[in-house]
């Protein structure tokens, strides 16, 4: 009797599936050897996340609107929203603009900074990364100004150091596939930090994150995320998760902050914005892939959500998922994710 290849089980962890979509692009690393007194003023990197790992010594992290934080050996700090900030040996030291400090360029993705006086040595590994997937952007929007992890589980410290050493080795040797390896390792570092924040922060127990953890609403969200092109209705989603139509509708709106229909439209339009900028597919094909019966219906929905027609985003070199330039004027594409926090 011939054996058939078994189906790979579908994930039953909606929150884990969202974390799986935290895939990085545009990663840049800097290993710093800093001797007190020293201070570095980092500019804002819009649409990016920055992280700092202290592998020796200590430093202060200062982000506007947040209390100064002392980072010690083993600390990992994320600045999720790309906000400008300072890191320094002590709070009284003047910080020098980042791009005024010379660095040794190892590769396009990796550099080494040696800076400061003749005092205590601090080793930092810093990175600037970008998350392009819609789910990742949505999750990051919910994070605070700073995510700081100081207490790791047993043996994670050694794993963290080994991971950073592995990144440095890949950057230095520039072997085939090295950038891919570096990027995946950074994925793991950041996902570990975000997972720790989710497990310990009260803010993670409300809104969209809480909805993902709900047995039935989480299942509905995953259905929308996996198959946005499907002709979902409140009734079909309710049936998918084993609830009555009215009970599902009320619970979804209460937990997510929007109706299921509006959430589906918002999700489709965020994916559309991404595809318009990154693919060569026609607007008609994109609209079809996202479940619209006509290009006209898709265009109306896009303009209703973003305030501009889809053609304004297409092939626009100044366009990002947050803003486009139309006839010389920058138009903000506002996301509604904040209200779900």
- Measure the CA angle with vertex 330, ends 323 and 272; round to 5°: 35
Is 58 within 8 Å of 141 (Cβ atoms)? no
Mean pLDDT value of segment 313-336: 44
Q: Is residue 20 scored above 80 in pLDDT?
A: no
φ, ψ of residue 75 in degrees (nearest 5)? -75, 140
The number of C-alpha atoms within 13 Å of 147 and in the hemisphere containing its C-beta is 27
pLDDT confidence band for 305 (50 / 70 / 90) = confident
Picking from 75-84, 105-114, 176-185, 230-239, which range would have the lowest pLDDT averaged per residue? 176-185
Mean pLDDT value of segment 305-319: 74
Q: Which of 256, 248, 211, 247 is nearest to 232 (CA)?
A: 248
Average pLDDT, the chain: 81
Sheet holding 147-149, edge to edge: 104-107, 110-116, 24-35, 121-131, 49-56, 76-79, 147-149
How far from 285 is each of 4, 272, 324, CA to CA, in Å?
A: 35, 11, 21
* Maximum mean pLDDT: which of 49-63, 147-161, 172-186: 49-63
Read off the pTM: 0.71
Mean pLDDT value of segment 46-62: 90
**pLDDT 10s digits, 120-172:** 999 998 988 887 667 677 778 888 999 998 765 555 556 666 777 777 677 66
Picking from 158-167, 183-192, 196-205, 235-244, which range would have the lowest pLDDT averaged per residue? 158-167
pLDDT confidence band for 104 (50 / 70 / 90) = very high
> Residue 172 contacts by C-beta under 8 Å, 6 or more apart in sequence?
106, 107, 110
Q: Quick one: pLDDT at residue 15? A: 75
pLDDT confidence band for 9 (50 / 70 / 90) = very low
Residue 223's CB: how many other CB atoms inside 10 A? Answer: 18
The number of C-alpha atoms within 13 Å of 183 and in the hemisphere containing its C-beta is 14
First to last CA, the chain: 54
Residues 238-253 as b/e (b if ≥16 CB within 10 A, e otherwise) read bebbebeeeebbebbb
Distance CA 149, CA 124 (A): 15
pLDDT confidence band for 1 (50 / 70 / 90) = very low
- Measure the CA angle with vertex 122, ends 116 and 123; round to 5°: 110
Element holding 110 (H helix, E strand) = strand 110-116
- Measure the CA angle with vertex 163, ends 157 and 166; round to 5°: 145
Q: Is residue 110 scored above 60 in pLDDT?
A: yes
- Enter the tokens of residue 301: 């929905």
Mean pLDDT value of segment 86-114: 92
Percent of the chain with pLDDT strictly greater than 70: 80
pLDDT confidence band for 324 (50 / 70 / 90) = very low
How far from 238 is each of 97, 116, 311, CA to CA, in Å?
A: 54, 61, 35
Is 150 within 8 Å of 70 (Cβ atoms)? no
Q: Is residue 334 scored above 50 in pLDDT?
A: no
* Maximum mean pLDDT: which of 80-94, 106-120, 153-167: 80-94
pLDDT confidence band for 35 (50 / 70 / 90) = very high
Q: Is residue 245 scored above 90 in pLDDT?
A: yes
Q: Which of 314, 313, 333 is nearest to 323 (CA)?
A: 333
Distance CA 200, CA 16 (A): 16
């Amino acid at each position: 009797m011939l054996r058939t290849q078994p189906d790979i089980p579908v994930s039953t962890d909606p929150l884990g599936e969202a974390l799986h979509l935290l895939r990085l692009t545009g990663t840049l690393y800097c290993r710093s050897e800093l001797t007190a007194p020293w201070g570095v003023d980092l500019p804002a990197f819009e649409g990016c996340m920055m992280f700092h790992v202290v592998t020796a010594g200590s430093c202060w992290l200062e982000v506007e609107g947040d209390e100064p934080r002392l980072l010690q050996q083993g600390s990992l700090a994320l600045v999720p929203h790309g906000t400008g900030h300072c890191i320094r040996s002590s709070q009284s030291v003047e910080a020098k603009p980042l791009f005024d400090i010379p660095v040794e360029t190892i590769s396009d993705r990796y550099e080494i900074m040696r800076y400061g006086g003749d005092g205590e040595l601090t080793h930092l590994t810093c990175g600037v990364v970008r998350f392009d997937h819609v789910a990742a952007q949505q999750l990051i929007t919910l994070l605070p100004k700073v995510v700081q992890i100081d207490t790791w589980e047993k043996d994670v410290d050694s794993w963290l150091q080994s991971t950073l050493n592995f990144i440095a080795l890949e950057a230095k040797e520039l072997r085939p596939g090295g950038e891919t390896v570096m990027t995946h390792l950074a994925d793991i570092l950041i996902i570990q930090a975000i997972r720790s924040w989710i497990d310990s922060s009260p803010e993670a127990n409300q809104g969209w994150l809480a909805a993902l953890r709900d047995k039935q609403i989480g299942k509905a969200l995953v259905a929308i995320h996996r198959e946005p092109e499907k002709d979902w209705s409140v009734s079909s989603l309710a049936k998918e998760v084993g609830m009555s139509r009215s009970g599902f509708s009320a619970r979804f709106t209460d937990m997510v902050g929007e109706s299921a229909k509006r959430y589906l439209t918002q999700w489709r339009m965020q994916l559309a914005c991404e595809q318009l900028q990154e693919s060569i597919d026609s607007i008609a094909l994109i609209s079809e892939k996202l479940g619209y019966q006509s290009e006209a219906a898709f265009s109306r929905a896009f303009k209703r959500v973003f305030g501009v027609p889809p053609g304004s985003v297409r092939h626009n070199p100044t366009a990002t998922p947050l803003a486009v330039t139309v006839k010389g004027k920058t138009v903000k594409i506002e996301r509604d994710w904040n209200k779900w926090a």
